[in-house]
Homo-oligomer: A and B are copies of this chain.
């Protein structure tokens, strides 16, 4: 049986190289390409047509989820999986929506990762139980479209006036959305609201 062709995408050279070396020890796995950024991962995938793409969530250029989305459209035969250091509930949700087959933290062992690659290649799915629990308990975003939009604009600490201008809204309206968003998230002010929304992956 021919080996599983794997694409490895991670911006940390140290990890990528080490991982490639470890996976090379597995007879049934073959790392055919490596990439250090989102766009590069796409280009490599087009060129080498891997069976499974292992993507880091945070990469320069484009994050793992958007790469997965593009791959799904261009190479339907290529399964994708995400490996990340900071797993947030919202990311998991977005990833699954993008057709990602597995989602695991970087705290898993290489042995386990190899198993996951095989599982995914065979058509199976996997999500880290702890992350899954977080995602379920976090639930869906309670924020309305405008609330999320305004919260996003408030993310870098900009004053209300600037947010209002960029959103073409009255300052009072902006305050209201931020206030209701903060209430829904259980925050005392918009800044902690931003932080909480970030943690849950809702922005």
Q: Given A18-B22, A22-B18: A11 and B107 within 8 A (CB)?
A: yes
Report the stretch among A90-98, A119-127, A129-137, A184-192 that lies at the interface. Answer: A184-192
How many residues of chain A have a CB within 8 Å of chain B?
31
When each residue 58-93 of chain A gets 1 if its CB lies under 8 Å from chain B and 0 otherwise, what string results?
A: 000000000000000000000000010100000000
Known: A21-B21, A22-B18. A13 touches B107 (CB 8 A): yes
Q: Does chain B have a CB within 8 A of A2? A: no
A47 at the interface (CB under 8 A from B): no
Quick check: is A48 within 8 A (CB to CB) of the other chain?
no
Copies in the complex: 2
Whether A13 and B85, one on each chain, are in contact in the complex, defined by CB atoms closer than 8 angstroms, is no
Counting chain B CB atoms within 10 Å of each CB, which of A14, A36, A189 scores highest?
Answer: A14
CA–CA, A45 and B63, complex, Å:
37
Give the distance in Å from the alpha carbon of A21 to the alpha carbon of B25 in the complex.
11
A198 to chain B, nearest CB (A): 11
* Nearest B residue (CB) for A189: B157
When distances are taken between beta carbons in the complex, the residues of chain B under 8 Å from A22 are 17-18, 21
Give the residues in chain B near A187, CB-CB below 8 Å. Answer: 157
Among candidates B18, B85, B106, B191, residue contacting A110 with C-beta atoms closer than 8 Å = B18
Q: If A156-B195, A157-B191, A159-B188 touch, does A107 touch B19 (CB 8 Å cutoff)? A: no
Given A18-B18, A19-B18, A21-B18, A192-B157 contact (CB < 8 Å): yes
Chain B CB count within 10 A is highest, among A12, A83, A189, for: A12
Q: Is A113 an interface residue (CB 8 A)?
A: yes
Q: Which of A23-50 contact B (CB under 8 A)?
A: 36
